[in-house]
């Protein structure tokens, strides 16, 4: 299997779907929004984009299965699984905030081997494949080499439906606000991970996530020289419902603060 070729083809598809999203953004009607559950929004744009992705990815790798956010297709578990979020940052899109993305990951036996994140507002295509490095619009990228949290710009995602851990989250957030150069909340986990990969953020953490939120971005961070894990430090960030991503330089101190805040260990 030629992972580089598959990645390039996937990137082309992501940009095509991103163009569709941008076209719809020009005349999007908020009255068409559906509510899946509390603070879980979806529109015809999400569903149409997902259908386009599924159709295109089936041509690229016909035997692969799918894990999709909008469940426009369901398949049995297979050796290769596409994990896709057609519009990561739907709430931003609905409110005309220009931070959202198309996120695509490919797993082999549940291990991420390809990641593609396309942010159409800045026309930025992030992509990586196992052993091949990470790239932004054709240029190789890497995580920051900064090893001091006091000089770090960090990112997070606010809880929006699971509030059971809110006190622990706020305790952790308060600590980071006091010891870093700032915290940012972009509204798209895929973008957050891509920004860690290219060195814009030193670290990112969030809980209450699904596989499609992180599958594309995790490969980017890993191939850019960074580290990803769950809050307890294991490698199952795809299915672990939480993610820590950081440069290897600050990862130990970064996750130590998270584990302290969440009373882990």
User: Domains in the chain and their CATH numbers?
Assistant: 3-141 (3.30.540.10), 149-261 (3.40.190.80)
pLDDT for the residue 39: 45
Alpha carbon separation from 201 to 13, 83, 133, 196, 256 (Å, rounded): 27, 24, 18, 5, 18
Average pLDDT, the chain: 93
Residue 37 has pLDDT above 60, yes or no: no
Tell me the backbone φ, ψ of residue 149, rounded to 5 degrees.
-60, -25
pLDDT for the residue 163: 83
In terms of residues, how long is the chain?
Answer: 265
Banded pLDDT at 161 (limits 50, 70, 90)? confident
Please give the distance of CA 226 from its chain centroid, rounded to a whole number: 14
pLDDT for the residue 1: 85
**Rounded distance, CA 9 to CA 251, Å?**
32
State the residue for tokens 């961070």: 221
Question: What does DSSP say about strands 40-42 and 133-136: parallel, antiparallel, or unpaired?
Answer: unpaired
Contact predicate 100/192, CB 8 Å: no
Contact predicate 105/82, CB 8 Å: yes
Contact predicate 107/113, CB 8 Å: yes
The conformation of residue 199, written as its DSSP 8-state character, comes to: T
């Amino acid at each position: 299997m030629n992972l580089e070729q598959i990645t390039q083809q996937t990137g082309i598809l992501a940009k095509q779907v991103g163009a569709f999203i941008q076209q719809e953004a020009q005349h999007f009607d908020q009255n068409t929004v559906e509510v899946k559950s509390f603070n879980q929004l979806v529109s015809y744009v999400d569903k149409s984009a997902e259908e386009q992705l599924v159709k295109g990815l089936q041509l690229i790798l016909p035997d692969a299965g799918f894990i999709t956010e909008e469940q426009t297709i369901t398949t049995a578990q297979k050796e290769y699984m596409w994990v896709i979020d057609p519009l990561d940052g739907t709430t931003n899109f609905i409110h005309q905030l220009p931070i959202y993305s198309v996120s695509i990951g490919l797993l082999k036996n549940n291990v991420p081997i390809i990641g593609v994140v396309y942010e159409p507002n800045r026309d930025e295509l992030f992509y990586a494949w196992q052993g091949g490095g990470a790239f932004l619009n054709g240029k190789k990228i890497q995580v920051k080499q900064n090893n001091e949290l006091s000089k770090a710009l960090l990112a997070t995602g606010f809880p929006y439906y699971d509030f059971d851990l809110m006190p622990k989250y706020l305790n952790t957030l308060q600590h980071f606000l006091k010891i870093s150069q700032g915290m940012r909340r972009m509204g798209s986990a895929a973008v957050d991970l891509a920004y860690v990969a290219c060195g814009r953020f030193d670290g990112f953490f969030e809980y209450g996530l699904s596989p499609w939120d992180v599958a594309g971005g995790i490969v980017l961070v890993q191939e850019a020289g960074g580290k990803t894990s769950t809050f307890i430090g294991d490698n199952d960030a795809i299915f672990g419902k939480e993610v820590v991503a950081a440069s290897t330089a600050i990862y130990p101190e970064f996750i130590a603060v998270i584990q302290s805040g969440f009373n882990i260990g």
